[in-house]
Structure 1
Amino acid sequence: MKTLVPVLGDQLTPTLSSLRDADPADTVVLMMEVGDETTYVRHHKQKIAYILSAMRHHAAALAAAGWTVDYVHLDDPDNSGSFTGEIARAVQRHAPERIVVTEAGEWRVVAMIDSWETLFGLPVEIRSDDRFLCDHAEFDAWAKDRNQLTMEFFYRVMRRKTGLLMDGTKPVGDRWNFDKENRKPAKNDLFMPRPHAFAPDAVTEQVLALVAERFADHPGSLDDFAYAVTAADAEKQAAYFFEKALPQFGDYEDAMLTGERHLWHSILSPYINSGLLDPLDLCRRAEAEYRAGRAPLNSVEGYIRQIIGWREYMRGIYWREGPDYVTRNFLDHHRKLPGWYWTGDTDMYCLKEAIGQTLGTAHAHHIQRLMVTGNFALLIGADPAEVHRWYLEVYIDAYEWVELPNTLGMSQFGDGGLLGSKPYISSGAYIDRMSDYCGHCRYDVKQRIGPDACPFNALYWDFLARHADRLGDNPRLRMPYRTWNRQSAQSQDETRHQSEIFLQSLDNESESAY
């Protein structure tokens, strides 16, 4: 029985469920570069280049392993531009008797796959993506009847399920979470680890040229593209992280430094999310570093929590809440993002640094995303759907299943607290504590009002005042509301006027930009 197995751009795993029991003698693997996937948002140029090059290298590896691979290039003259169109052409070419596919990661692609059986008159078998620890039914069973879907409790279930960092039925160190130990600011260090930079080979050079020509109007730069595009090179970066960076990852995972793009972060999320690396294998290797005495518990626990905690949890939320999750806007925010989110041209140094790095490399670490770009967007009242689109566009590891809950739920509080118990907001003081950014800024982080005052300060208090009816009873915001309510009416008026002037300047800039 001839079988057609479509392999998508985030399924670059040789042991993919759709291939696991297939016979190479009567299987055609179909891989498709299609216009719809590159333009449904204006993806960063490096993101497109990474995915296309990784796909081409994966196709070559499958062919070398004995598979028949039908590969559709983006610039093929007959390319239909869509997954469904390319399935139709492949059915004509190969006359398969069935289609077997691993479930897609995003709702819009699921809708396409669900239509194939009717469109093509062929049986379509959709298999679970078992590269994840928790399938949809298991997550739904965990979430059922819970008033709040607290990640910490889900994470404990995953720890017990995997046995990671467990001593019998108890967590290693008698604590599940060591996050309080992972909030240290960093100083420039000559011995800071530097992730591998992988020089583009001939295949990648061809892709870079294609992207430069076809996606010139997309955000970001292709200069200095240095990502791994093969499983072997991704493994080199993983090995380097475990040896050189993991020991201090925990201490400094929230730190930010001028000019330091990576600090002690792994830079493995692009490879995990596209399928080049196995997330559970990485967690087991991290645990082995702790067990061997080469990495401290706070670093290893923090790293494992990001993968089997946050990553799995975000996927569960995405699938449970459904396609309309993107429309939620609990705080009724509708302001446009400033145009400089696509240029980095702002006097606010922290934003200039985080956005500039993002545009240059398609990467920024989680605190730059959450507490700089995300924090600012939330404080100004940006439309959460637009913020979601920006994050989906600019980050190399952003696929909607993981990016949307992180952005709309955690960063922008658009779901009203389903995912996070409070909005992640701060004044300039947090950024000053966790970075050296403020020392380079034309604004004064110590000032609340005046032409030189850090905009984060007035915006923070104005945000709380604007949303007192929605957030005033939140137990995790009692202290800041108590502080605000102790201020004099004159002080409150000055703060809110300062915020109003700044927000009007953003609106004026948006009007001139559009």
Structure 2
Amino acid sequence: MTGARDDTPLWLFADQLGPAVHGGDHAHREVLLVEARHALRKRRYYRQKLHIVLSALRHADRDLGDRATLITADTYTDALQRFGRPVLVHQPTSFAAEKFVHRLEEQGLVADVLPTPTFALPRAEFEQWAGNRTRFRMEDFYRDQRRRFDVLMRGSEPEGNRWNFDEENREPPPKKQTRLDVPAPYQPREDDIDDQVRHDLDRMDLDTVGADGPRLFAVTPTEAQRALTRFIEHRLPAFGRHEDAIMGGDWAMSHSLLSVPLNLGVLHPLDAVHAAEQAYRNRCAPLAAVEGFIRQILGWCEYMWHLYWHFGENYVDHNELNAHTPLPDWWKDLDADAVTAECLRHALLGVRDRGCTHHIQRLMVLGNHALQRGYHPRELTEWFATAYVDGFRWVMPTNVVGMSQHADGGRLATKPYAAGGAYINKMSDHCGDCAYDPRKRLGDDACPFTAGYWSFVHRHQNRLARNNRTRRVVQSMERLGDLEDVLAQEKGRTRF
């Protein structure tokens, strides 16, 4: 530290609320917390997301006791000026916030900026790893992460002599079951702080979207540890097999639901990773389930964080597939009742009622639909960032622009993640009760994902024909005898 004294107070952003930030070498420091009303009004956020953020801040204020000062102000600058002393801050988690902190530093309101402590790998070390790469593979990064942190390793070799058990984690939902036979996930008990947050949000009369409801996710380090413990002890053993499956009657299935506390900074990724590894060492969970969970956190989550910074602030403007369709009102308003397709309706219900769906619903239902219909990738990224309870600013650009919408032209993913109704029929239990037939691409009961898939392939056939992984789908499209009718049908479709 160059500009901070040993008694300089520490300012915590709302996604930096864990002991990795305010503990350790900083455990002696006074802590500043800020509720900025302007930030709450800046965008149309999901209602429960605002509740989670405010609850996290206020619980941190209570738990830190005399160390903490919580200021409610119109803006962060107003709060810092009222506080009256320069503060120390860790690197924030978005480009906009980083620029803002540097302006505050120039004004003398911030004494120094320290590296982000809420991820396993420091940003500088990722830049060394990235070097001059122009193409990125998560598997390369993930293996290096395993080696670096000595996770699931036997000397220099991976546990079980395999780095990746993904093929064993792709089973469809079990037949003749509406739910997985696993204990329910941890749910925190709301308290007087949550009651006051709900009252204050009602009083502010903000333009929000989605339903209010009980808080489902951990927002304190204590709650996060309870959520992690319950997952490891009761749900991790069943996690792997049906990791990619979707069940209409079981929204959580055996997923950990730890993305909120991880992204709030109240749970450190290495704590979750080490707990899962220990479960395997203790023979309490199978290797495939443990490896799949660790890959999500030490692999994918860390990878998305670092690529957000590496690809740069303008990455979100990539639009290689020339997608310019605005998001429809039923999508933005989470009007699931306006949707007929069961898979899409259930996904919107999940966002409307909980602000959360698991990764396959995000990628292969919502993302797949948006890709087929050509929704604008920047607008879609903004929607995911504001509508999902775990959708912080760094999370969504690479997940949406790169992975989901292939808008970066293949810099992140080697092929577009487009699929027809057959995939959804295999991996979910939705299609049996749906008015649309996943086997049909033409007619009133034609599945909008099946028909939309062929429309997408036709629209981008030149690009897909040059890709070894998608060349065959273009050849299959050329053999469709009813292609022109399908294209005409999809051009005029307004109902999904």
TM-score by length of 1: 0.91
- Verify the 8 A CA contact 2:305 2:395 in the aligned structure 1: yes
1: CA distance between counterparts of 2:183 and 2:305? 30
| Secondary structure of 1:401's aligned partner | coil
2: CA distance between counterparts of 1:130 and 1:179? 29
Q: Single out whichever of 426-435 and 466-475 deviates more from structure 2.
A: 466-475
Query: C-alpha offsets along residues 166-206 of structure 1, whole Å, 9 cap, x if unaligned?
Result: 11111111111111111111233473321123231011111
The CA deviation at 1:238 is 1.1
Aligned position for 2:257: 267
- Verify the 8 A CA contact 2:20 2:118 in the aligned structure 1: no
Stretches of structure 2 that go unaligned for 5 or more consecutive residues are: none
Q: Single out whichever of 449-458 and 223-232 deviates more from structure 2.
A: 223-232
2: CA distance between counterparts of 1:393 and 1:6? 24
The CA deviation at 1:243 is 1.3
Give the number of equivalent residue pairs: 485
2: CA distance between counterparts of 1:421 and 1:148? 9
Q: Single out whichever of 228-237 and 264-273 deviates more from structure 2.
A: 228-237
Aligned position for 1:3: 8
Whichever residue aligns with residue 71 of structure 2, its letter is V
Aligned position for 1:129: 116
Is 1:389 aligned to 2:382, yes or no?
yes
Query: C-alpha offsets along residues 325-347 of structure 1, whole Å, 9 cap, x if unaligned?
Result: 11111111010122222221211
Aligned position for 2:90: 102
Whichever residue aligns with residue 452 of structure 1, its letter is D
2: CA distance between counterparts of 1:28 and 1:257? 47
The CA deviation at 1:380 is 0.2
Is 1:114 aligned to 2:102, yes or no?
yes
Whichever residue aligns with residue 389 of structure 1, its letter is E
Query: C-alpha offsets along residues 203-227 of structure 1, whole Å, 9 cap, x if unaligned?
Result: 1111012223325531111123333
Is 1:21 aligned to 2:13, yes or no?
no
2: CA distance between counterparts of 1:201 and 1:106? 31
TM-score by length of 2: 0.94
Whichever residue aligns with residue 37 of structure 1, its letter is A
Whichever residue aligns with residue 56 of structure 2, its letter is A
Aligned position for 2:484: 493
2: CA distance between counterparts of 1:158 and 1:212? 44
**What is the RMSD computed on CA atoms of the aligned residues?**
1.7
| Secondary structure of 1:126's aligned partner | strand
Is 1:171 aligned to 2:173, yes or no?
no
Is 1:448 aligned to 2:436, yes or no?
no
| Secondary structure of 2:25's aligned partner | coil
- Change in CA separation of 1:288 and 1:82 when aligned onto 2, cut-off 3 Å: same
Q: Which runs of 4+ in 1 moved over 4 A?
A: none
Q: Single out whichever of 28-37 and 309-318 deviates more from structure 2.
A: 28-37
1:145 is aligned, of 120, 128, 132, to 132
Aligned position for 1:512: none
- 5 Å-filtered alignment, 1:421-460, equals 421-460=414-453
Whichever residue aligns with residue 25 of structure 2, its letter is D
1: CA distance between counterparts of 2:476 and 2:396? 33
- 5 Å-filtered alignment, 1:103-252, equals 103-120=91-108, 124-187=111-174, 188=177, 189=179, 191-252=181-242
The CA deviation at 1:228 is 2.8
1: CA distance between counterparts of 2:210 and 2:118? 30
- Change in CA separation of 1:101 and 1:145 when aligned onto 2, cut-off 3 Å: same
| Secondary structure of 1:101's aligned partner | strand
- Verify the 8 A CA contact 1:354 1:373 in the aligned structure 2: yes
The CA deviation at 1:23 is 7.0
- Verify the 8 A CA contact 2:89 2:110 in the aligned structure 1: no
2: CA distance between counterparts of 1:37 and 1:123? 19
Aligned position for 2:346: 353
- 5 Å-filtered alignment, 1:326-405, equals 326-341=316-331, 342-344=334-336, 345-405=338-398
The CA deviation at 1:36 is 3.2
Name the % identity: 37
- Change in CA separation of 1:260 and 1:70 when aligned onto 2, cut-off 3 Å: same
| Secondary structure of 2:395's aligned partner | helix
Whichever residue aligns with residue 295 of structure 1, its letter is A
The CA deviation at 1:89 is 2.0
